[in-house]
Amino acid sequence: MNNFDPPKQAGDYDVNAYCPVCNSRSNFLYKANDGREYGYHNTPAQELKSNRDFGGEIVFRLLGCATCGVAGLAEFHNRVLYRFDPHAQVTINLPDDTPDDIKREFRSAENCSGIEEYRPGATMLRSTIEKVLIKHGYNENDLFQKLDQLAEDKIITRTLAKQNQEIVRILGNDVLHGIWREVFPDEFATAYKYTHRLIEAFYDDHKSVLAELQEIGKEIPDEESQEPESS
């Protein structure tokens, strides 16, 4: 199970979901350690002042993360999970030298994935790639060509360039400019992984990357010489 999977029912009223405090997948339980239930409210759907009557029973339940105890709220329809909060997202460590704007763009993509909005999430990943490249002087051609040039200049591997070109092609250009289509969680997960690798390739050892770029005579925009802002 990857962290982009939506919340899933795991037992009577337990839910397996991403926990924002544990920063990992966790089980949210409807009973506390002492065996008592956190609490619930059940009502026939027809009694709700809304058009949600499906001829069954709705139960709202409080749950607690099995690991850290943070609260969750689940809604069950006829004992089947209908929705769960918090809508939480994966966050993954970024190298210390990653500039603030890159971090924010990448975190926006994560936030979108937390509410299962993979289309805007994908465009944020594309924008992250673009910002990384522009910051290193690769701004003269389109993204696809820039990635080719980076591999040719041996700043990143040919494999990483290809992986990122796939993201740009499918989740950037097609999603933004083509006919509307859904972006699926597994597509987002792959794009997310490769965008993260690109950030690592540039910022894990940023000084060495800058030195290599200098060696091939690449002009780096001024901001690269500044200390990255803290997030």
Contacting positions for Zn ion (CB under 5 A) = 19, 21-22, 26, 65, 67-68, 70
The least distance separating Zn ion from the CB of residue 68, rounded to whole angstroms, comes to 3
Distance CA 157, CA 144 (A): 14
Q: Which is nearest to 135 in space by CA: 216, 217, 213, 230?
A: 213
The least distance separating Zn ion from the CB of residue 26, rounded to whole angstroms, comes to 5
Contact (CB, 8 A) for 168 and 144: yes
The least distance separating Zn ion from the CB of residue 13, rounded to whole angstroms, comes to 17
Minimum CB distance to Zn ion smaller for 90 or for 170: 90
Minimum CB distance to Zn ion smaller for 65 or for 74: 65
Locate all alpha helices (DSSP H) within the chain, ordered by sequence. Answer: 100-114, 118-135, 143-152, 158-166, 175-177, 185-203, 206-215
The least distance separating Zn ion from the CB of residue 205, rounded to whole angstroms, comes to 33
Minimum CB distance to Zn ion smaller for 32 or for 68: 68
**DSSP category for residue 204:** T
Minimum CB distance to Zn ion smaller for 69 or for 120: 69
Minimum CB distance to Zn ion smaller for 68 or for 115: 68
The least distance separating Zn ion from the CB of residue 72, rounded to whole angstroms, comes to 9
> Cα 115–120–125 angle (5° rounding)?
105
In sequence order, the 6+-apart residues with CB closer than 8 A to the CB of 130 are 143
